[in-house]
Amino acid sequence: MSAWRQAGLNYINYSQIAARLLRQALKTDLRVEAAKRDEANVKFTQWKDGKPVSDKN
């Protein structure tokens, strides 16, 4: 069994921790660029009867 499983982590948690530690270990100029890639945008759309429901009415 892998070490991250024995620690009670799933693969997503393990990879997030590893990525965070790697970004912290980078030199400052590279750290800024890596921090930009860390950001994510998510848009949620509600669906009803197979069609997206718009709030703009």
The structure tokens listed for 45 are: 């759309």
- CA nearest to 19, candidates 5, 7, 3, 31: 31
Query: Which tens digit of pLDDT belongs to each residue from 33-47?
Result: 888 777 777 788 899
CA atoms of 40 and 37, how far apart (whole Å):
8
Domain spans in the chain, listed from the N-terminal domain onward: 3-52
CB 21 within 8 A of CB 14: no
Residue with tokens 């197979």: 50
Query: Which tens digit of pLDDT belongs to each residue from 2-56?
Result: 887 888 889 989 988 998 898 889 998 888 888 877 777 778 889 999 999 876 6
**Measured in whole angstroms, how far is the alpha carbon of residue 10 from the centre of its chain?**
14
CA atoms of 43 and 55, how far apart (whole Å):
13
- 3-52 — its CATH code? 1.10.1620.20
pTM greater than 0.75 (yes/no): no
